[in-house]
A and B are shown apart, each in its own frame.
Chain A
């Protein structure tokens, strides 16, 4: 029996245990698959047999879901599944050499499983460890600060089949690296405070309770504590921190005002998918102040009359799960979650954590909801929007982790107070995830309005060529723009702040991002599914020195098409890094267009390799020069 094989009965036992824990609920499909894999190292066909029988769903559905997520394996991938984080910052920190070293130490080819079935080594998108990279995941647990020495140790541990639980705990220590704290990260906050403050805004508990009941039944009215809390959020001017910057108060109000169908309830979802390369501030918020985030969700539930909450935690942050569940349990014991919260009749709310499995697109709110429902993470057609038809067709708000943390503080200190921080159009503070070429990478919280230049000075960046703000889907800021400010009126951001000094090749930065989007396209719509692959091939062609102005023109046309025809934000922004770097760092491209004229799509000489091998020929006629083919 091989390493990866378990008896069918043993597999069925695992599946039964997991499924029962999830109340035999098919909407928990992704969670079930993930936990089965944690127990079996992969999802064997026998497990799918059992799920099919127990959940009563067709095999196509289970295999469809399993096949969507990068971290779910329907083929054996070894007892140790190593994934190197492959963001541009990991590359700058030398992840490639480390990966080669591990592969050669373990006699395994990159992307493959070792012959003895013990280990596989591959790469994955940004793991959110940019300030302490290069990073990796081993069986979905994060390890930061890799170097050659640690790689050799890891190879040794794997070869000796040491269980992951017995690896040195120091490996798994992830630092918060908070370099500048402001109202959120400095908050001296006692769990429950914000809820009590919200409740205190009610004229009387009786009115408050009847108000809550009326919302549950779908009859909104505007008085009492919940209404007052919503007013505070509106007064604060809080806008979403997940990227799009929608006004939080309006979103909450729309959800509160949505008619409830019979048997439905309102839902609060915290978006902790944090997949944008270069972003890691939600990780720090969740590790440093989870109570603030959960309390923000509870405030939201109170304000809109929701009874059920979810946190969608990205798979890369699996290591935070047990701690977060412990915090939730503690809050239940303190009556800050559960029934009659803070002793207020009818104030019922609880939070469940769902863990993602390696799909950036699930950060998009409607794809996230699909994933929460246990489906493939495909963005929905909109309208209708989640505020009216969200999780299981119920009115749902989806907000970023940081948005909820801010909401808790607003409930506590009032909207007026919050609106006074930051700039006129951008109230409050913004947490930046600073990484790349600087002395002090980490977390920086600033009031809105801070200039790029200021951030660069604070983190010790010198000789800076460019900053990618808000990740690949954001904007690339060049030196002459460093006086621009962070804020909705100028440069909005979800938090990534990736610094490139003058030694960096901005073409390679864009190419890394294009690879990211190609890998993360969900495949639903034609322009993004095929277009990101075509774009990747063209960028690679330029990289290998066989690009021409013809290819460049093709890139520009594809960008246009992606922007206008794609189904969701991923496709719309997939070309941003390319368009920005073309506009601002044109010489990096000109340098790549080595060819004056049209060049072949592929390496012609390599196309003869099999025939050369089979015939043993190596004469001049057995080769093809890659010469150009006509004016472009």
Chain B
């Protein structure tokens, strides 16, 4: 069956079982998101995709669309809240974009641009996190991990490997790899893994790729995230 709901006043069609974000992106409407990826089971942790449904805040990547829902997304209030979330992610880790290979291709950065984030606002935590360069082909820079668990889901659900996992709790939550030594080199990870391709930020990086595409000519330099293909596949 096909039904509709309204999103910022626009009528959006959906089919049974679709989430709000799925229906929106099928209709070419961008809702900011970080832990959601169309190929994986939604996780609902980053909260960037929060919208108001009939006046109540809810994550649009986990909420199923229902007929007649009134959804607000691009309002000043919600975008200010989303901006605060990106600021939290920036101060929680160590994000020095000028020296990050992901810069220009990074979803966190592009989302922050979209939301008009001029500074991280909060006081920086400057956590002490490691870099794992043990693997011959890939580098892990934990300083930038936003705990979206996409690599965890990709490795488990697509690669069937469980290379990545989350451990710790609260602000001490962190990414771990599947080896007693704690080193990526001692896991069965390869660059061909789906997990090697899904990180929205600059944690899981291919080695010896440094600045192959110059800054200024990268994905989100060309078009803002709200206008790139995979987020609004329906256009």
> CB within 8 Å of B: which residues of A?
45, 48-49, 58-61, 63-64, 66-70, 359, 376, 381, 383, 518-527, 529-534, 537, 557, 561, 564-567, 601-602
Contacts and interface: CB of A to CB of B under 8 A. Distances in A.
A523 B171 contact: yes
Contact of A527 (B88, B122, B168, B180): B88
B167 interface: yes
Contacts of B89: 526, 530
B88 A526 contact: yes
12 contacts: A63-B176, A64-B166, A68-B169, A381-B59, A519-B170, A521-B171, A526-B45, A526-B146, A529-B92, A531-B88, A564-B81, A565-B81
Contacts of A383: 64
Nearest to B86: A526
Contacts of B45: 524-526, 567
B176 A64 contact: yes
B158 to A, nearest CB: 15
Nearest to A538: B123
B44 interface: yes
Given A520-B170, A529-B170, A60 B125 contact: no
A68 B167 contact: yes
Contacts, number: 117
Contacts of B232: none
Interface residues of B, number: 41
Contact of A68 (B62, B163, B168): B168
Given A530-B92, A533-B125, A376 B57 contact: no
B47 A518 contact: no
A354 to B, nearest CB: 18
B88 A534 contact: yes
Given A58-B162, A60-B165, A534-B122, A565 B57 contact: yes
B172 interface: yes
Interface in B51-99: 57, 59, 62, 64, 81, 84-85, 88-89, 91-92
Given A64-B167, A67-B167, A383-B64, 13 more contacts: A48-B180, A58-B178, A59-B179, A60-B152, A63-B176, A64-B166, A69-B169, A381-B42, A522-B170, A530-B91, A533-B171, A564-B50, A602-B123
Interface of B: 42, 44-48, 50, 57, 59, 62, 64, 81, 84-85, 88-89, 91-92, 122-123, 125, 146-147, 152, 162-173, 176-180
A527 B178 contact: no
Contacts of B176: 60, 63-64, 67
A336 B163 CA distance: 47
A69 B173 CA distance: 11
A527 B84 CA distance: 9
Contacts of A519: 170
B169 A527 contact: no
Nearest to B62: A381
A376 B180 contact: no
Contacts of A522: 169-170
A415 B180 CA distance: 57
Query: Which of B84, B89, B167, B169 is packed against the most chain A CB atoms within 10 Å?
Result: B169
Nearest to A560: B81
Contact of A381 (B44, B122, B168): B44
